[in-house]
């Protein structure tokens, strides 16, 4: 492509992105769309479902897609997943993703649409993600004749540890996809603002559980028992030494124990104790070494205290998450679209990667992908709780921004690809 031709395209592309994004936002804020998204989000929030159990959520999505006249795939795709298509049904293909699963938490927010399921709650905004992607679908369907290719909508189960994205990839649903975009709502940034970074965003992540077995008995006579609680306590302390004394201080790593279960009486030494936790690192080499050392430490410390142990890394049920790495070219695209749409001062750079994890990374292993944060904090209101809190709330005024950004990122990306092919 010649220089002047490229400059001309760049100007047209920016103008198109700005006008289309503004139009999409206006449409998303229209009560017909906004109230519809809110209603969907609240219905999902009232009926939370854990990973691979999102049957009602999946049915709701398929019902709404059917009403919109949008074709979809459902059977044989990651248990409850729904894959929908808008556009020409021909190449090029760009994907947009929303996760569907809730968390095993008891909601403590008292409001009209509180979770109706004891011990389950949408405490990470996935209900909002589904509503926004359906909002984008509604908008895109209205502009289907303008789409220069196909937008693939990925409604994905089991992001919270179950690796639903991995099953989506294995199903072949992304076989012809050129790029994929995903978002997450956050109270870290004001409503109407976004944030991301090129390259490394989130760490590799894995889970583990260990059972340490001894010999139970009366707590008044510990000499007659083999105490698994004492052994497990030393395991927990020794695991922290992996970070403080073995890891390079410039190579960020984390080992955290989140579960410690053993015994039920004050005066009884139990037969066994079960501990569980997570470990994280940015590089694959550090991550796999950390996995190896966790198993060695648990086994070794158990033996020191005359106990036996088993360690489970849940390779199938909770697969290790790769690092989330944003594609550099997609970062430029996102920056252009979001900057034109929201204003360049509303597009924030995340200064450094996080030890959090996101199974969107499974998509990024097979196609270029881009993940960003969507602000939902109203500066004039009380600070919203962070994710995975029983007090988590979603500011529904953010829904139009997510829906419009989804639609704009996909359509402008397809336009860009089409022009490159023609050029």
Instruction: Tell me how many degrees the CA angle 321-324-329 measures, rounded to the nearest 5.
Output: 150
Residue-wise burial string across 67-98, b where 16 or more C-beta atoms lie within 10 A, e elsewhere: eeebebebeebbbbbbbbbbbbeeebbbbbbb
Encode pLDDT of 208-239 as tens digits. 999 999 999 999 999 999 999 999 999 999 99
Q: CB burial class (10 A; 0-12, 13-18, 19+) of residue 259?
A: exposed
- Selected residue with higher pLDDT from 4 and 148: 148
* In the block, residue with structure tokens 């854990």: 50
Where residue 23 falls among pLDDT bands split at 50, 70, 90?
A: confident
* In the block, residue with structure tokens 């979001």: 338
- Known binding-site residues equal 124, 126, 160, 184, 388
Where residue 21 falls among pLDDT bands split at 50, 70, 90?
A: low
Encode pLDDT of 314-361 as tens digits. 988 899 999 999 999 999 999 999 999 899 999 999 999 999 999 999
Where residue 124 falls among pLDDT bands split at 50, 70, 90?
A: very high
| Predicted local distance difference test score (pLDDT) of residue 422 | 61
CB 144 within 8 A of CB 410: no
Q: Which 3-state string (H, E, C) describes 170-238? A: HCCCCCCEEEEEEEEEEEEEECCCEEECCEEEECEEEEEEEEEECECEECCCHHHCECHHHHHHHHHHH
**What percentage of the chain has pLDDT greater than the value 70?**
94
Asked if the model's pLDDT at residue 9 lies above 80, the reply is: no
What does the mean pLDDT of the chain come to? 94
Q: Give alpha helix (H) positions in 324-375.
A: 328-342, 361-364
| Predicted local distance difference test score (pLDDT) of residue 418 | 81
Q: Provide the CB-side half-sphere exposure for 237 (13 A, CA).
A: 8
Terminal-to-terminal C-alpha distance of the chain? 6
Joined tokens for residue 22: 């503004």
- Known binding-site residues for Mn(2+) equal 124, 126, 160, 184, 388
Asked if the model's pLDDT at residue 412 lies above 60, the reply is: yes
Give the whole-angstrom CA distance, residue 129 versus residue 406. 10
Q: Which 3-state string (H, E, C) describes 254-309? A: EEEEEEEECCCCCCEECCEEEEEEEEEECCHHHHHHHHHHHHHHHHHHHHHCCCEE
| Predicted local distance difference test score (pLDDT) of residue 6 | 43
Encode pLDDT of 350-395 as tens digits. 999 999 999 999 999 999 999 999 999 999 999 999 999 999 999 9
Domains of the chain: 3-201+323-422 (3.40.630.10), 204-312 (3.30.70.360)
| Predicted local distance difference test score (pLDDT) of residue 265 | 97
Instruction: Tell me how many degrees the CA angle 369-197-319 measures, rounded to the nearest 5.
Output: 50
Where residue 240 falls among pLDDT bands split at 50, 70, 90?
A: very high
| Predicted local distance difference test score (pLDDT) of residue 420 | 74
Where residue 75 falls among pLDDT bands split at 50, 70, 90?
A: confident
Give the whole-angstrom CA distance, residue 132 versus residue 23. 16
Q: 72 φ, ψ to 5°?
A: -150, 160
Encode pLDDT of 88-101 as tens digits. 999 999 999 999 99
- DSSP codes joined into one string, 137-161: HHHHHHTGGG-SSEEEEEEE---SS
Give the pTM.
0.92
Where residue 104 falls among pLDDT bands split at 50, 70, 90?
A: very high
Residue 327 three-state SS = coil
CB 102 within 8 A of CB 186: no
């Amino acid at each position: 492509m010649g220089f002047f031709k490229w400059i001309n395209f760049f100007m047209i592309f920016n103008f198109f992105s700005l006008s289309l994004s503004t139009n999409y936002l206006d449409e998303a804020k229209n009560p017909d769309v906004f109230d519809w998204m809110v209603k969907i989000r609240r219905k999902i929030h009232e009926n939370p479902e854990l990973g691979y159990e999102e049957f009602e959520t999946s049915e709701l999505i398929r019902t709404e897609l059917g009403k919109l006249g949008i074709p979809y795939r459902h059977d044989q795709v990651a248990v409850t997943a729904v894959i929908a298509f808008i556009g020409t049904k021909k190449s090029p293909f760009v994907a947009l993703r929303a996760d569907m699963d809730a968390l095993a938490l008891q909601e403590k927010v008292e409001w009209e649409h509180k979770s109706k399921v004891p011990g389950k709650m949408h405490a990470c905004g996935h209900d909002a993600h589904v509503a926004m992607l359906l909002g984008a679908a509604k908008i895109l369907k209205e502009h289907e004749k303008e789409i220069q290719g196909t937008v693939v909508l990925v409604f994905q189960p089991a992001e919270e540890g179950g690796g639903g994205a991995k099953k989506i990839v294995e199903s072949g649903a992304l076989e012809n996809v050129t790029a994929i975009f995903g978002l997450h709502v956050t109270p870290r940034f004001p409503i109407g603002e976004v944030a991301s970074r090129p390259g490394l965003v989130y760490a590799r992540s894995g889970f583990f559980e260990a059972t340490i077995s001894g010999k139970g008995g009366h707590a008044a006579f510990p000499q007659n028992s083999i105490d698994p609680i004492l052994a497990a306590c030393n395991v927990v302390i020794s695991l922290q030494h992996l970070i403080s004394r073995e890891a390079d201080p410039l190579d960020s790593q984390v080992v955290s124990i989140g579960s410690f279960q053993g015994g039920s009486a004050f005066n009884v030494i139990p037969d066994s104790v079960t501990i569980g936790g997570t470990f994280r690192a940015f590089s694959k080499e550090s991550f796999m070494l950390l996995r190896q050392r966790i198993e060695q430490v648990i086994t070794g410390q158990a033996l020191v205290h005359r106990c036996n142990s088993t360690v489970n890394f849940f390779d199938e049920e909770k697969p290790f998450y790769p690092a989330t790495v944003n594609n550099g070219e997609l970062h430029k695209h996102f920056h252009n679209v979001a900057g034109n749409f929201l204003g360049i001062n509303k597009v924030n750079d995340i200064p450094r990667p996080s030890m959090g994890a996101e199974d969107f990374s499974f998509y990024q292993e097979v196609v270029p992908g881009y993940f960003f944060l969507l602000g939902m904090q109203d500066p004039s209101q009380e600070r919203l709780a962070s994710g995975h809190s029983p007090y988590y709330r979603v500011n529904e005024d953010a829904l139009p921004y997510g829906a419009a950004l989804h639609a704009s990122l996909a359509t402008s990306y397809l336009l860009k690809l089409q022009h490159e092919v023609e050029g």
